[in-house]
Amino acid sequence: MGKVSRNGFWLITFCSCLLLLVVSQAAGADNNDPNDPNDPNDPNGPNGPREVLSSKWDAVISILRNKDIDQEVKEKQIDKIVTPIFDFPLMAKLSLGRKHWPKLNSSQLEKFTQLFSERLKKSYWEKIALYKDEAVLFKATEKKKSTYIIPTELIYKDKKVAILYKLRKVEKSWKIYDVEIQGVSVLLTYRSQFDEILSHGTVKELLARLEKPPND
């Protein structure tokens, strides 16, 4: 049986990305992080990736429902919860792929990773702000080599959106490195865009584009 959790629209973020779907503490917490896979042979156990993802989502929704804090505070609290579960450095590297990653020097790689991460977070926040109490079903975790896949279903009105979270274990934490929405990979979508830019332009032009708001 899958676990049903109430969540929102950031799934469709990562959904246009990221987002993105998770690790640090829940809002305001500094210790006792549950993202510790004590039993790597049980990915569906209490410390497995599905439970971590679900608990993080519940923490985010709790903040969104809190009417006593303003949007800026909510954004900061949610960032503390969500940011640590995404492997932004790996996502940045995969978004460029083997073809283009070697073209960037160390300074450019650092800048690109920073800008790419900021874009994913921005996209995430814009989508999560649309939360309308949608329901999400986190299904049993599947393992393919070193990748843990969590099939997820977002139930929005009379529609169901299929989402796949792809995670890997980094030391003692679960990290999301890609999300597929209705079979479309966020990373491959970005890779296609970046390939188009770098095949006809320069790294400098790519960085300049990333520095602009997404809709510019």
> What CATH number does residue 43 fall under?
3.10.450.710
Number of domains in the chain: 1
Tell me the pLDDT tens digit for each residue of 127-183.
Answer: 777 767 778 889 999 999 989 999 999 887 788 889 999 999 988 889 999 999 899
Supply angle C-alpha 175, 92, 79, rounded to 5.
55
d(CA 165, CA 176): 7
Q: Is residue 216 part of a domain?
A: no
129 to each of 9, 22, 104, 119, 200, how far by Cα in Å? 8, 18, 34, 16, 36
Half-sphere CA count of 207, side-chain side, radius 13 A: 14
Q: How many CB atoms sit inside 10 A of residue 134's CB?
A: 19
| Helix H or strand E segment including 197 | helix 186-200
Q: What pLDDT does residue 39 have?
A: 54
Q: Provide the residue range defining the domain that includes 72.
A: 3-211
Q: What pLDDT does residue 160 have?
A: 87
Residues of the chain predicted below pLDDT 70:
1-41, 131, 215-216
Q: Is residue 207 part of a domain?
A: yes
Q: Is residue 183 part of a domain?
A: yes
Q: Is residue 17 part of a domain?
A: yes
Q: Calculate helix-pair angle for 186-200, 203-211, nearest 10 degrees.
A: 130
CA 115 to chain centre: 15
Q: What pLDDT does residue 43 have?
A: 76
Q: What Rg value do the Cα atoms of the chain yield, rounded?
A: 17
